[in-house]
Amino acid sequence: MKAVILDGSRNTESPTRTINNKMTLKLEKEVWDVEEYLLCQEEIAPCTGCFGCWLKTPGKCTINDKGREIAKEVIQSDIVILITPITFGGYSYQLKKMVDRFIPNVLPFFAIVNGEIHHEPRYDKNPKILAIGYLPQMDEESEENFKELIKRNAINFHSHLYNTEIVVDDVKSLDMDKISNFLEKVEMLE
């Protein structure tokens, strides 16, 4: 089984690094093949919205940087784990840039999904999504917005199996049992 961890920490001292480290240990202990990216240390340009990944180089971003490689790793994985400080109910800038670069993994054509218009999938298999957001203090509105964002992204990227978890305040108290529960909630959906 292959997992890709996209860590949207703003820096190497971020509390979300603790979540990433514990998640990586858990997966490696269970003999997963883990690719981990600390996005603040990667050269990833923002999506320019040029649609070249649909028209000029179908399925491949026209920007030749680490983002192209990561998007390919994501679509070839069984699960993508998004770890981020929650910023105004959404992703950190670092993670948002990368999620935008997933667009080559869907087609430019549209289909109706549950009464809504969405892009058609490019591939037969899409990874599960586990999103773990961090808040320094309780903020119900940000939590709800984050959960809805993950749900909508899961629909858009045809990841029908997903889970969203929120960690508030003390990441050091996050034990391996809780990390296991995060993963089990995604696996139980199958």
Question: What was the pLDDT predicted at 72?
Answer: 97
Structure confidence at residue 45 (pLDDT): 98
Give the residue from 117, 70, 121 showing the smallest Cα distance to 97.
Answer: 70
Which regions in the chain score pLDDT beneath 50?
A: none
At residue 187, the pLDDT reads 67
What pTM was estimated for this model as a whole? 0.93
CB 149 within 8 A of CB 96: no
Q: Hey, where are the domains in the chain? A: 2-187
Q: What is the pLDDT of residue 188?
A: 57
pLDDT of residue 183: 80
Predicted confidence (pLDDT) per residue in 105-140, tens digit: 999 999 898 899 999 999 999 999 999 999 999 999
CATH of 2-187 among 3.40.50.2300, 3.30.200.20, 3.40.1190.20, 3.40.50.360: 3.40.50.360
User: What pLDDT, on the 0 to 100 scale, is given for residue 170?
Assistant: 76
